[in-house]
């Protein structure tokens, strides 16, 4: 089974591509969902975040105040690095365990992990193929502002925390562009699935 990583910048359409992959019966896992699970009450990562960032990032019900933590992390590279050092290890372990299970529980020729910060965390070499989801940076900016109700300066800060999409494209084994219609994206995903099922990534 091929280990495939899917990545891209915020607002590039990764979630839509993942839904289309699932429509083709492709096993998928979402690193962001794993990260949310890793910081639930009772998990070691939440205690470490409280210790590093203080009680201001803990909501009244004991859960992580993700919005507050996000503002702190995206405003300070040192804080962001500390956040990633706490959350990323359990996410990596969960993804590796999931791929091991997939090898024995599915007939699929490949499985896909959606990992937004794949290149930023130096994890690309752990996968057989890397698929980048991309769109024009101006469209990316518009999408994030509309989706997250953020002001443009805040979106720029978040984009600056990620490798520029052009650099991700240059490192990709395969590319899905989402700047056109849904039908165009769907055709690219279908083509990608055929290629990966045959053992290729381009």
Over residues 95-138, the pLDDT tens digits come to 999 999 999 998 899 999 999 999 998 999 999 999 999 999 89
- What is the pTM for the complete model shown? 0.88
Q: Identify the domain containing residue 92 by its residue range.
A: 36-99
- If we measure between CA atoms, which residue out of 124, 160, 126 comes closest to residue 140? 160
Residues 15 and 114 in one domain: yes
Q: Is 14 exposed, middle or buried (0-12, 13-18, 19+ CB in 10 A)?
A: buried
Residues 196 and 126 in one domain: yes
pLDDT, tens digit, 9 for 90 and up, residues 48-100 = 999 999 999 999 999 999 989 988 888 888 998 999 999 999 999 999 999 99
| Same domain, yes or no: 154 and 75 | no
Contact indicator for 152, 141 with CB cutoff of 8 Å: yes
User: Last residue of some domain: 73, 99, 125?
Assistant: 99
Residue range 9-62, pLDDT digits in tens: 889 999 999 999 999 999 999 999 999 999 999 999 999 999 999 999 999 999
How many C-beta atoms surround the C-beta of residue 84 within 10 A? 17
The last residue of one of the domains, among 56, 74, 99, is: 99
Residue 6 near residue 18 (C-beta atoms within 8 A): yes
* Torsion from C-alpha of 109, 113, 114, 119, nearest 10 degrees: -110
């Amino acid at each position: 089974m091929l280990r495939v990583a899917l990545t891209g910048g915020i607002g590039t359409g990764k979630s839509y591509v993942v839904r289309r992959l699932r429509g083709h019966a492709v096993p998928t896992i979402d690193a962001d969902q794993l990260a949310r699970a890793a910081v639930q009450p009772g998990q070691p990562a939440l205690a470490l975040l409280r210790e590093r960032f203080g009680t201001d990032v803990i909501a009244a019900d004991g859960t992580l105040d993700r919005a507050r933590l996000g503002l702190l992390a995206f405003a300070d590279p040192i804080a962001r690095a500390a956040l990633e050092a706490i959350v990323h290890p359990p996410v990596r372990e969960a993804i590796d365990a999931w791929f091991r299970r997939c090898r024995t529980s599915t007939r699929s020729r490949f499985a896909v992990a959606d990992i937004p910060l794949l290149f930023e965390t130096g994890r690309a070499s752990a996968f057989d193929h890397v698929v980048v989801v991309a769109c024009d940076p101006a469209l990316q900016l518009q999408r994030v502002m509309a989706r997250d109700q953020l002001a443009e300066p805040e979106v720029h800060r978040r984009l600056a925390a990620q490798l520029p999409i052009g650099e991700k494209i240059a490192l990709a084994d395969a590319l899905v562009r989402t700047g056109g219609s849904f039908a165009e994206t769907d055709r690219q995903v279908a083509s990608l699935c055929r290629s990966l099922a045959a053992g290729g990534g381009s």
